[in-house]
Amino acid sequence: MKNGKRDVGSLSDEELMLRVKGGCSASFEELVRRHRRCVLNIAYKFTADENSAEDIAQEVFCRIWEHRKTYTPTAKFSTFLYRVTTNFCISEYRSYKRRQEVHIEMRDDETTYFDLPSKEEIPYVEMEKTELAAKVKSAIASLPESQRIALILCKYENLPYSQIAEVMGTTVEAVKSLLVRAKATLRERFSRILKEK
Amino acid sequence: MDCKDVRKKISEIIDGGLYENLPQDVRKHISVCNECRKFYENEMLIWKMLDCYPSIEPSADFVEKVMRKVRATKVAAKRVFSRIIAAVGTAVAVIIVAILLFAPSELGPELSVTEVAEILEKEDLLANLDLAEEWEAAALMDLLESVEDLELESE
């Protein structure tokens, strides 16, 4: 058993995924171990909510298991993983918004799950350690979905434009444009701080 | 390079996290263009401010929870598979019975289920009976032929 684990640990992500494709749960466990932090933090940056980020990250891995047979070795595992993660974040966010529209009258009693802030009202600000961190958090959360994803992948995952484009199913030029617009919005949000500096 | 090109380049450099290694041409431009220098400083400041967003750590039982869910999925998939097999088996049995009951029969008028069952049970017996009749006919023919031969010889 120990030898088996050591063996799994020395394999690349792509090799592990090929084993997962064949139903190997030990290889899958190793992939979860390697990438849980990354997936969790993408979900966290996207949702701005720690609890929902944990649920989403777990669900992302379950989806990868369910769709393991669709993985092709031509694609980098990380690209596949980022794609599943961002798609799942977006679909969860959209379904949350739909629920929000249906149950609009119940809003006062709901928790902050996907409670993305409007520019005026930021419910989780007081929970943050510093004012600046809270402002950054709310500013990112207020960005449109695609700009938010592009920014998270670029800034926090350090992905090159080409890989972001592959993850988002778009072109490099479109990614650059998304980032320019995201930064313009942030510049607007941080204009007061920038003036002070 | 004009201001538009310089800003595009600055944006790309900052996105790549290389804001402290500006190329010579950009450096030269921002040393004389206040607007572009301001743009560069703001972009760099915003990018650095984003570092304030804290990262979080997964819960201690994260992997365990995922693996539990995966195991549950496996069990559910097996259940679905066995249900499909059972459904297909039932459908095949129903089709066979329907064929036996409603297909045009060489045995005459339509038969009831019990009659079909009885026939199926007796199928081997009937086959043997047919065979026996064939053997008897053949033996009779042989006998007739040998009688005819005897008559011809006596003549």
B111 occurs within a structural domain: no
Give the 3-state secondary structure percentages of chain B, helix then strand then coil, rounded to 5.
80, 0, 20
Residue B36, domain member (yes or no): yes
How distant is the Cα of A105 from the closest Cα of chain B, in angstroms? Answer: 32
What lies within 8 Å, CB to CB, of B1 at 6+ separation is B9, B25, B26, B29
Domain that holds residue B16: 3-52
Q: What is the pTM of this model?
A: 0.69
User: Cβ of B60 under 8 Å from any chain A Cβ?
Assistant: no
> Count of domains in chain B?
1
B83 to B70, B78, B88, B91, B96: CA distances (angstroms): 20, 9, 9, 12, 20
How many CB atoms are closer than 10 A to CB B78?
10
- The ipTM value here is 0.77
Inside any domain, residue B37: yes
* Assigned domain for B22 exists: yes
> What mean pLDDT is reported for chain B?
81
Report if residue B21 sits inside a domain. yes
Q: Is residue B43 part of a domain?
A: yes
Nearest to A138 by CA among A177, A185, A89: A185
Nearest chain B alpha carbon to A172:
B12
Check whether A101 has a pLDDT greater than 90: no
Whether A58 and B66 lie within 8 Å, measured CB to CB: yes
Q: Is residue B79 part of a domain?
A: no
Tell me the percentage of chain B whose pLDDT exceeds 90.
30
pLDDT at A132 exceeding the cut of 80? yes
B62 touches A: beta carbon within 8 Å: yes
Mean pLDDT of chain A: 83
CATH number of A120-197: 1.10.10.10
Pick from B11, B56, B58: CB nearest A180: B11
- On whether the CB atoms of residues A149 and A86 are closer than 8 A, the answer is yes
Look up the CATH number of domain A1-116.
Answer: 1.10.1740.10
Residue B55's alpha-carbon distances to A39, A41, B66, in angstroms, are: 11, 6, 21
The boundaries of every CATH 1.10.10.10 domain in chain A are: 120-197
- Range(s) within chain A of domains with CATH label 1.10.1740.10: 1-116
The residue written with tokens 């739909």 in the block is A98
Residues of A in contact with B67 (CB under 8 A): 25, 28-29, 32
> A54: nearest CA in chain B?
B58
- Name residue, tokens 């670029």: A154
Identify all chain B residues contacting A161, using CB atoms and an 8 Å cutoff: 15
Nearest to B52 among A28, A32, A136 (CB): A136
pLDDT grade for B105, boundaries at 50, 70 and 90: low
Distance from CA of B88 to the nearest CA of A (A): 24
Residue B101: inside a domain: no
